[in-house]
Protein backbone atom coordinates (compact mmCIF):
# COMPACT_ATOMS: atom_id res chain seq x y z
CA UNK A 1 0.00 0.00 0.00
CA UNK A 2 1.45 3.44 -0.89
CA UNK A 3 2.49 5.74 1.94
CA UNK A 4 0.20 8.14 3.69
CA UNK A 5 0.97 11.64 2.36
CA UNK A 6 1.70 14.10 5.15
CA UNK A 7 -0.03 17.31 4.06
CA UNK A 8 2.14 20.17 5.39
CA UNK A 9 -0.36 22.81 4.32
CA UNK A 10 -3.12 21.13 6.32
CA UNK A 11 -1.00 20.71 9.46
CA UNK A 12 0.27 24.29 9.12
CA UNK A 13 -3.33 25.57 8.88
CA UNK A 14 -4.23 23.56 12.00
CA UNK A 15 -1.41 25.31 13.91
CA UNK A 16 -2.30 28.71 12.41
CA UNK A 17 -5.84 28.28 13.78
CA UNK A 18 -4.28 27.72 17.23
CA UNK A 19 -2.15 30.83 16.70
CA UNK A 20 -5.25 32.91 15.87
CA UNK A 21 -6.87 31.79 19.13
CA UNK A 22 -3.77 33.02 20.95
CA UNK A 23 -3.54 36.35 19.09
CA UNK A 24 -7.25 36.99 19.74
CA UNK A 25 -6.69 36.34 23.44
CA UNK A 26 -3.61 38.63 23.47
CA UNK A 27 -5.57 41.34 21.65
CA UNK A 28 -8.12 41.48 24.46
CA UNK A 29 -5.20 42.29 26.75
CA UNK A 30 -4.10 45.00 24.27
CA UNK A 31 -1.09 43.04 23.00
CA UNK A 32 -0.37 42.57 19.29
CA UNK A 33 2.61 40.25 18.71
CA UNK A 34 5.10 42.25 16.64
CA UNK A 35 7.72 40.80 14.27
CA UNK A 36 10.52 42.99 12.91
CA UNK A 37 11.54 41.64 9.49
CA UNK A 38 14.94 42.87 8.34
CA UNK A 39 15.96 42.34 4.72
CA UNK A 40 19.32 43.46 3.34
CA UNK A 41 19.59 43.76 -0.44
CA UNK A 42 17.19 42.60 -3.13
CA UNK A 43 17.83 38.87 -3.55
CA UNK A 44 14.56 37.71 -5.18
CA UNK A 45 14.30 34.49 -3.12
CA UNK A 46 14.84 36.40 0.14
CA UNK A 47 12.35 39.05 -0.94
CA UNK A 48 9.70 36.43 -1.63
CA UNK A 49 10.38 34.75 1.77
CA UNK A 50 10.03 37.99 3.71
CA UNK A 51 6.90 39.00 1.78
CA UNK A 52 5.35 35.62 2.65
CA UNK A 53 6.30 36.08 6.31
CA UNK A 54 4.77 39.56 6.45
CA UNK A 55 1.59 38.33 4.74
CA UNK A 56 1.31 35.44 7.20
CA UNK A 57 1.64 37.89 10.11
CA UNK A 58 -1.24 40.01 8.78
CA UNK A 59 -3.48 36.98 8.28
CA UNK A 60 -2.99 35.63 11.79
CA UNK A 61 -3.26 38.65 14.08
CA UNK A 62 0.43 39.63 14.24
CA UNK A 63 1.97 42.93 13.14
CA UNK A 64 5.08 42.99 10.99
CA UNK A 65 7.55 45.86 10.93
CA UNK A 66 9.39 45.95 7.61
CA UNK A 67 12.99 47.10 7.45
CA UNK A 68 14.52 47.08 3.96
CA UNK A 69 18.20 48.01 3.80
CA UNK A 70 20.36 48.43 0.69
CA UNK A 71 22.84 45.65 -0.17
CA UNK A 72 25.78 47.96 0.61
CA UNK A 73 24.56 48.90 4.09
CA UNK A 74 27.38 48.83 6.65
CA UNK A 75 27.54 46.16 9.33
CA UNK A 76 27.47 48.94 11.95
CA UNK A 77 24.17 50.33 10.59
CA UNK A 78 22.60 46.88 10.56
CA UNK A 79 23.75 46.22 14.13
CA UNK A 80 22.29 49.58 15.15
CA UNK A 81 18.91 48.59 13.68
CA UNK A 82 18.97 45.22 15.46
CA UNK A 83 19.72 46.98 18.75
CA UNK A 84 16.89 49.46 18.24
CA UNK A 85 14.49 46.53 17.61
CA UNK A 86 15.81 44.87 20.78
CA UNK A 87 14.68 47.96 22.69
CA UNK A 88 11.34 48.52 20.93
CA UNK A 89 8.50 47.29 23.19
CA UNK A 90 6.19 46.79 20.17
CA UNK A 91 8.64 44.27 18.72
CA UNK A 92 8.43 40.80 20.28
CA UNK A 93 10.42 38.94 17.63
CA UNK A 94 13.27 39.86 15.28
CA UNK A 95 13.98 38.12 12.03
CA UNK A 96 17.08 38.91 9.98
CA UNK A 97 16.63 37.25 6.59
CA UNK A 98 19.70 35.18 5.67
CA UNK A 99 21.98 35.05 3.80
CA UNK A 100 23.49 38.50 4.38
CA UNK A 101 25.89 40.12 1.88
CA UNK A 102 29.50 38.90 2.14
CA UNK A 103 30.83 42.09 3.79
CA UNK A 104 28.60 41.51 6.84
CA UNK A 105 29.54 39.04 9.55
CA UNK A 106 26.37 36.95 9.85
CA UNK A 107 27.25 35.41 13.21
CA UNK A 108 27.89 38.88 14.71
CA UNK A 109 24.47 40.11 13.57
CA UNK A 110 22.68 37.02 14.88
CA UNK A 111 24.48 37.29 18.21
CA UNK A 112 23.30 40.91 18.51
CA UNK A 113 19.64 39.83 18.59
CA UNK A 114 18.28 39.73 22.11
CA UNK A 115 17.78 35.99 22.93
CA UNK A 116 14.29 36.85 24.22
CA UNK A 117 13.34 38.16 20.75
CA UNK A 118 15.28 35.59 18.72
CA UNK A 119 12.23 33.91 17.18
CA UNK A 120 14.40 32.18 14.56
CA UNK A 121 16.21 30.43 17.43
CA UNK A 122 19.65 30.98 15.90
CA UNK A 123 21.46 32.89 18.66
CA UNK A 124 24.15 31.00 20.57
CA UNK A 125 22.02 31.39 23.69
CA UNK A 126 18.94 29.72 22.18
CA UNK A 127 20.96 26.99 20.47
CA UNK A 128 22.73 26.37 23.79
CA UNK A 129 19.42 26.13 25.63
CA UNK A 130 18.18 23.57 23.10
CA UNK A 131 21.34 21.48 23.51
CA UNK A 132 20.91 21.67 27.30
CA UNK A 133 17.30 20.43 26.93
CA UNK A 134 15.79 23.72 28.14
CA UNK A 135 14.63 25.27 24.85
CA UNK A 136 13.14 28.75 24.58
CA UNK A 137 12.86 29.51 20.85
CA UNK A 138 13.55 26.51 18.61
CA UNK A 139 14.67 27.01 14.96
CA UNK A 140 11.53 27.01 12.82
CA UNK A 141 12.20 24.27 10.24
CA UNK A 142 13.22 21.59 12.79
CA UNK A 143 10.34 22.64 15.07
CA UNK A 144 7.97 22.24 12.11
CA UNK A 145 9.39 18.80 11.30
CA UNK A 146 8.67 17.57 14.83
CA UNK A 147 5.10 18.91 14.61
CA UNK A 148 4.58 17.12 11.28
CA UNK A 149 5.80 13.84 12.76
CA UNK A 150 3.78 14.10 15.97
CA UNK A 151 0.55 15.37 14.46
CA UNK A 152 0.65 12.59 11.83
CA UNK A 153 0.67 9.95 14.58
CA UNK A 154 4.08 8.54 13.65
CA UNK A 155 5.43 6.50 16.59
CA UNK A 156 8.64 8.09 17.87
CA UNK A 157 9.33 6.43 21.22
CA UNK A 158 12.38 4.23 20.62
CA UNK A 159 12.28 4.86 16.85
CA UNK A 160 15.55 5.11 14.94
CA UNK A 161 15.65 8.54 13.27
CA UNK A 162 18.26 9.15 10.58
CA UNK A 163 18.96 12.77 9.63
CA UNK A 164 20.98 13.36 6.45
CA UNK A 165 22.64 16.77 6.79
CA UNK A 166 24.21 18.58 9.75
CA UNK A 167 23.57 22.29 9.08
CA UNK A 168 23.05 24.71 11.95
CA UNK A 169 19.56 25.59 10.73
CA UNK A 170 18.15 22.08 10.16
CA UNK A 171 20.18 18.92 10.92
CA UNK A 172 21.89 19.92 14.16
CA UNK A 173 18.88 21.45 15.98
CA UNK A 174 16.67 18.60 14.73
CA UNK A 175 19.04 16.06 16.26
CA UNK A 176 18.62 17.79 19.64
CA UNK A 177 14.84 17.90 19.32
CA UNK A 178 14.48 14.24 18.38
CA UNK A 179 16.49 13.00 21.38
CA UNK A 180 14.31 14.95 23.84
CA UNK A 181 12.30 12.64 26.10
CA UNK A 182 9.04 13.94 24.63
CA UNK A 183 10.10 12.40 21.28
CA UNK A 184 12.52 9.75 22.56
CA UNK A 185 14.06 8.70 19.25
CA UNK A 186 17.54 7.28 18.80
CA UNK A 187 19.27 9.54 16.31
CA UNK A 188 21.94 9.02 13.65
CA UNK A 189 23.23 12.07 11.76
CA UNK A 190 24.76 11.51 8.31
CA UNK A 191 26.87 13.94 6.27
CA UNK A 192 29.46 13.91 3.49
CA UNK A 193 31.86 11.97 5.71
CA UNK A 194 29.36 9.14 6.23
CA UNK A 195 30.34 5.76 4.81
CA UNK A 196 27.54 3.79 3.15
CA UNK A 197 24.70 6.32 3.42
CA UNK A 198 22.25 3.78 1.95
CA UNK A 199 22.83 1.33 4.82
CA UNK A 200 22.06 4.02 7.43
CA UNK A 201 18.95 5.17 5.55
CA UNK A 202 17.63 1.61 5.21
CA UNK A 203 17.79 1.30 8.99
CA UNK A 204 15.66 4.42 9.59
CA UNK A 205 12.17 4.30 11.05
CA UNK A 206 12.13 8.06 10.51
CA UNK A 207 14.27 9.40 7.66
CA UNK A 208 14.89 13.15 7.33
CA UNK A 209 17.03 14.15 4.34
CA UNK A 210 18.02 17.84 4.56
CA UNK A 211 20.72 18.07 1.94
CA UNK A 212 19.67 19.95 -1.20
CA UNK A 213 20.44 17.21 -3.77
CA UNK A 214 17.64 15.95 -5.99
CA UNK A 215 17.54 12.16 -6.31
CA UNK A 216 19.91 11.46 -3.39
CA UNK A 217 17.47 9.13 -1.60
CA UNK A 218 16.15 6.39 -3.88
CA UNK A 219 13.38 3.91 -3.11
CA UNK A 220 15.78 1.07 -2.25
CA UNK A 221 17.20 3.23 0.58
CA UNK A 222 13.82 3.34 2.35
CA UNK A 223 12.83 0.86 5.06
CA UNK A 224 9.32 -0.47 4.39
CA UNK A 225 6.82 1.46 6.52
CA UNK A 226 9.25 4.27 7.43
CA UNK A 227 8.28 7.91 7.84
CA UNK A 228 10.09 10.20 5.39
CA UNK A 229 10.25 13.93 5.99
CA UNK A 230 11.86 15.40 2.88
CA UNK A 231 13.37 18.80 3.74
CA UNK A 232 15.38 19.32 0.55
CA UNK A 233 14.21 21.87 -1.98
CA UNK A 234 15.75 21.58 -5.44
CA UNK A 235 14.82 23.19 -8.73
CA UNK A 236 15.04 20.82 -11.67
CA UNK A 237 14.42 21.33 -15.38
CA UNK A 238 11.03 20.17 -16.58
CA UNK A 239 10.09 21.15 -20.13
CA UNK A 240 6.48 20.08 -19.44
CA UNK A 241 6.15 22.65 -16.61
CA UNK A 242 4.87 26.17 -17.35
CA UNK A 243 8.14 27.82 -16.31
CA UNK A 244 10.37 25.02 -17.65
CA UNK A 245 11.35 23.88 -14.16
CA UNK A 246 9.81 22.55 -10.95
CA UNK A 247 10.70 21.92 -7.31
CA UNK A 248 11.56 18.49 -5.93
CA UNK A 249 13.00 17.22 -2.64
CA UNK A 250 16.03 15.05 -1.96
CA UNK A 251 13.92 11.89 -2.22
CA UNK A 252 12.82 10.13 -5.43
CA UNK A 253 9.19 10.51 -4.43
CA UNK A 254 7.61 8.04 -6.88
CA UNK A 255 9.87 5.23 -5.68
CA UNK A 256 9.80 6.07 -1.96
CA UNK A 257 6.01 6.47 -1.77
CA UNK A 258 5.64 2.77 -2.65
CA UNK A 259 7.73 1.65 0.35
CA UNK A 260 7.27 4.28 3.06
CA UNK A 261 4.49 4.40 5.64
CA UNK A 262 4.33 8.22 5.61
CA UNK A 263 5.97 10.75 3.30
CA UNK A 264 5.96 14.53 2.83
CA UNK A 265 5.64 15.96 -0.69
CA UNK A 266 7.82 18.78 -2.04
CA UNK A 267 6.40 21.37 -2.28
CA UNK A 268 3.64 21.20 0.35
CA UNK A 269 5.41 19.28 3.10
CA UNK A 270 7.98 20.95 5.35
CA UNK A 271 7.86 24.34 3.57
CA UNK A 272 4.48 25.58 4.90
CA UNK A 273 5.53 24.64 8.45
CA UNK A 274 8.58 26.90 8.61
CA UNK A 275 6.73 30.24 8.47
CA UNK A 276 4.03 28.85 10.75
CA UNK A 277 6.58 28.04 13.46
CA UNK A 278 8.01 31.55 13.11
CA UNK A 279 4.55 32.93 13.89
CA UNK A 280 4.28 30.46 16.75
CA UNK A 281 7.58 31.63 18.27
CA UNK A 282 6.61 35.30 17.89
CA UNK A 283 3.32 34.72 19.68
CA UNK A 284 5.19 32.81 22.39
CA UNK A 285 7.53 35.80 22.79
CA UNK A 286 4.51 38.10 23.17
CA UNK A 287 2.94 35.73 25.71
CA UNK A 288 6.16 35.77 27.68
CA UNK A 289 6.05 39.58 27.66
CA UNK A 290 9.27 39.94 25.71
CA UNK A 291 8.21 43.21 24.09
CA UNK A 292 8.91 45.21 27.21
Q: How far is the CB of 266 from ligand NAP (least distance, A)?
A: 8
- Which lies closer to ligand NAP via its Cβ, residue 85 or residue 96? 96
Q: Is 235 a catalytic residue?
A: no
Write the DSSP symbol of residue 220. G
Of 265, 252, 163, 145, the residue nearest 204 (C-alpha): 163
Q: Which residue ranges make up the site for ligand NAP (CB under 6 A)?
A: 141, 164-167, 169-171, 190-194, 197, 210-213, 216, 231-234, 270-271, 274
Q: Is 4 a catalytic residue?
A: no
Per annotation, catalytic residue among 22, 97, 117, 205: 97
CB 203 within 8 A of CB 185: no
Three-class secondary structure of residue 154 per DSSP? coil
Q: What is the C-alpha separation between 283 and 121, in angstroms, rounded?
A: 14
Dihedral sign for Cα 43, 278, 59, 83, please: negative
Q: How far is the CB of 1 from ligand NAP (least distance, A)?
A: 27
Which residues face 189 on adjacent strands?
Answer: 163
Per annotation, catalytic residue among 22, 117, 118, 120: 120
- Which lies closer to ligand NAP via its Cβ, residue 78 or residue 190? 190
Q: What is the C-alpha separation between 111 and 177, in angstroms, rounded?
A: 22
Three-class secondary structure of residue 88 per DSSP? coil
- Which lies closer to ligand NAP via its Cβ, residue 53 or residue 223? 53
Q: How far is the CB of 226 from ligand NAP (least distance, A)?
A: 17
Q: Is 53 a catalytic residue?
A: yes
Q: How far is the CB of 62 from ligand NAP (least distance, A)?
A: 19
- Which lies closer to ligand NAP via its Cβ, residue 81 or residue 95? 95
Q: What is the C-alpha separation between 175 and 281, in angstroms, rounded?
A: 19
Q: Which residues are catalytic?
A: 53, 97, 120
Amino acid sequence: MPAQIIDGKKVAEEIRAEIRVKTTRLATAGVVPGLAVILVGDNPASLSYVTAKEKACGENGLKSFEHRLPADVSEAKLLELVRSCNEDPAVHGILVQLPLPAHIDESKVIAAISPGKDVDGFTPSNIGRLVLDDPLFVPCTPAGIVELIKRSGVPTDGAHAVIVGRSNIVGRPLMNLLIRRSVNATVTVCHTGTKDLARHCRDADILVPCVGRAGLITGDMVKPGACIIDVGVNQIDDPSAKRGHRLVGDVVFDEAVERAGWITPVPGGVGPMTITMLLWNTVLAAELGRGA
